[in-house]
Structure 1
Amino acid sequence: MNKRGFASDNFSGVLPEVMEAIQNANQGHVVAYGGDPYTESAIKKFKSLFGQNIDVYFAFNGTGANVIGLSTLTQSYHSIICPATAHIQVDECGAPDKFTGCKVIPIESPDGKISPELILPHLHGFGFEHHSQPKMISITQCTELGTVYTPEEVKAICDLAHANNMYVHMDGARLANAVVSLDVDVKEFTTHAGVDVLSFGGTKNGMMLGEAVIFFNPELSKEAKYVRKQSMQLFSKMRYIGAQFDAMLTNDLWLKTARHANKMAKLLEQEVQKIDQVKITQKVQANGIWALIPKDKIEKLQEEYFFWVWDEHAGEVRWLCSFDTTEEDILGFVKLLKQVL
């Protein structure tokens, strides 16, 4: 399948700048397991981005990054609160449950976001040995429904968590898309808002592989290196992840790619709003559109521009744009929508 579709930003290839960085790193011998100059340079850039008082660990993939962040800050008798649509709840095959041993408590939300008001009813049983102890709140930025938390919303969740001796984990698989959507410094809804640990996405934004786990207080990450190794996420030839992040964080490449993806989603939104049979179900704030279309037309559309069905019973679909989505892709898909619908 070589034709670009709208199934996932994981379907896209690798940014030319990233591929070049991998090739440039592919020379000679360097120290393994992160003791190389490429990883060192990337970590310096992360510290310039988030502040010097952070601890950074690279991992292979998003599930691994989430597992490292969650496992480091919990015990098996703890519970993790998250939206019902969260990737850690829906799309990670129970990996967070298995590796943390924690009880994951999903909260229903119409837009993929949770708030202190939705969280509070689940904050009980502290100190009661018969209950799993609430310890972690996990949110996704941007969410699995393409919506975005404001810095104020994140801070309110963090304040609630910290008031109850809990931590906040942010799944930032599409963090860059949220940054450009909000048009703020990334520190505004991470470092300054009080997030404790962040999974910083690379793969969905144009890297070949690799995510970063960022702890905003090194006192909390003392066990992280052991958790990463035991989670099978320690890459021996770390330079190939380090080099990719080094390229992504040079000249704001990570934001340029996300800005383009978001722009393409807005163009798609603008065009499909003209089609009566398409009903957009969520705010289009990042690089994705969720929409209701006639169920009997989905398969025909997928033959030309593949995409995933989000809710097969309702006929809700998801269209995601990527760094390499073009206006031609958008207009060609819209033309097909009009023909088929």
Structure 2
Amino acid sequence: MKKSFASDNYSGVHPNIMKSLMEANGGHQSPYGGDEYTVKAKKKFNEIFGPVETLFVYNGTASNVFALDIMKEIGSAIICPETAHIFTDETGSTAKVTGMQMLTVPTTDGKLDIEKAKKYLLFKDTFHRPNPSIVSISQATENGTIYTLDEIKEISAFAKKHGMYLHMDGARISNAAVALGCSLEEMTRGCGVDILSFGGTKNGIMFGEALVIFNEELKNRVKEFEYLRKQNLQLHSKMRYIAVQYLTLLEDNLWYENAKIGNEMAKYLEGELLKLNISITNEVRGNTLFAILPEKIIEPLQEFCYFYVWDPNTSEVRFVMSFDILKEDIDLFIEKMKELMSK
């Protein structure tokens, strides 16, 4: 099988995105964001999210680190779930670049438990301890769960009450919006998010992420952050190649259509696995599915179609559906599973 169920990072680039890159490649354009595509893309972000400031960077880790760096104060620390991507999968980049410490909160579903997070409020206003001034959540979470709008609003209210900013890692925000049937603006500005790391590489673009600033105080400091972007090695000289991808992604709801396919394929895979009496360990709402497989079939099945083992102790695996996965791909995978399970 030529496709993988390991991650939506494995997929190629959507044909419309590739076409737009080729179109943007014609002629000369001003560098560092002075090109027509960056101007148009920023306008499109304002149409989708309301009045925002948008800064383009190279990748997801940079988007998260840059967002957190923007919100940093002297002695700042970040409250996040212990499963947060910024804590578990970004090689300590936030700590290295910003100097901030992560204050992690135990979780069973990837979501931030406010009651458990409250213990860190005791750290505030004492210079012997890191000062929690940022709360960071992922939508969807690393566990495949999705915050409801009310849950995000509750976390935002908690953050604001205690003088903290709210950052959202939106690597899969498009899948979450489709699952909840809401707009991107409702999920972010409408819920009190201050800064969003808006992901595109998991939803059909080639490279580049977008930092979307909602908070009025932070928006007024955007010129400072342009210096910070340069210092953090994230100023792309030929920015049109990032911007045109987002312009295409947001036009004609391509972001929605791509995410919808991923979500639907995850539900289809869930149904087929349940027919084989495979245990599903998460509520499948986005494009991510966790399951317990017979240990004997995992390795040969990975050779056929690669996926990640999430917990080797329980044989729990993770499947992620990309925008280009077809039912026929899943049918082939299921047939291979049946063959391996019958041996």
Give the TM-score range, shorter chain.
Answer: over 0.9
Pairing 1:140–2:141 present: no
Pairing 1:34–2:33 present: yes
CA apart distance, 1:106: 1.5
Q: Does the aligned pair in 2 maintain the 1:65–1:199 contact within 8 Å?
A: yes
Matches of 2:271 and 2:74, distance apart in 1: 47
Matches of 1:339 and 1:231, distance apart in 2: 50
Pairing 1:48–2:47 present: yes
Matches of 1:228 and 1:295, distance apart in 2: 46
Q: Which amino acid aligns with 2:24?
A: A
Partner of 1:206: 204
Q: Which amino acid aligns with 1:11?
A: Y
Matches of 1:49 and 1:219, distance apart in 2: 20
Higher fraction of helix: 2
Partner of 2:87: 89
Q: Does the aligned pair in 2 maintain the 1:75–1:100 contact within 8 Å?
A: no
SS at 1:251 equivalent: helix
CA apart distance, 1:5: 1.6
Partner of 1:325: 325
Q: Which amino acid aligns with 2:15?
A: P
Partner of 2:286: 286
Partner of 2:258: 257
Q: Does the aligned pair in 2 maintain the 1:138–1:169 contact within 8 Å?
A: yes
SS at 2:243 equivalent: helix
Note the residue ranges of structure 2 that are not aligned, 5 or more in a row: none
CA apart distance, 1:11: 0.4
Q: Does the aligned pair in 1 maintain the 2:107–2:113 contact within 8 Å?
A: no
Partner of 1:186: 184
- Structure 1 stretch displaced more, 249-258 or 288-297: 288-297
Matches of 2:66 and 2:123, distance apart in 1: 26
Partner of 1:57: 55
CA apart distance, 1:76: 5.5
CA apart distance, 1:336: 1.3
SS at 2:103 equivalent: strand
**TM-score normalised by length of structure 1:** 0.97
Q: Does the aligned pair in 2 maintain the 1:55–1:217 contact within 8 Å?
A: no
Matches of 1:100 and 1:136, distance apart in 2: 13
Note the residue ranges of structure 1 that are not aligned, 5 or more in a row: none
**TM-score normalised by length of structure 2:** 0.96
Q: Does the aligned pair in 2 maintain the 1:136–1:168 contact within 8 Å?
A: yes
Pairing 1:270–2:271 present: yes
CA apart distance, 1:164: 0.5
Q: Which amino acid aligns with 1:307?
A: F
1:239-254 equivalent positions in 2, closer than 5 A: 239-254=240-255
Matches of 2:73 and 2:64, distance apart in 1: 15
SS at 1:257 equivalent: helix
CA apart distance, 1:123: 1.7
- Number of equivalences: 338
Partner of 2:236: 235
Q: Which amino acid aligns with 1:31?
A: S
SS at 1:157 equivalent: helix
CA apart distance, 1:218: 4.3
- Structure 1 stretch displaced more, 230-239 or 293-302: 293-302
Partner of 1:197: 195
Partner of 2:157: 159
SS at 1:192 equivalent: helix
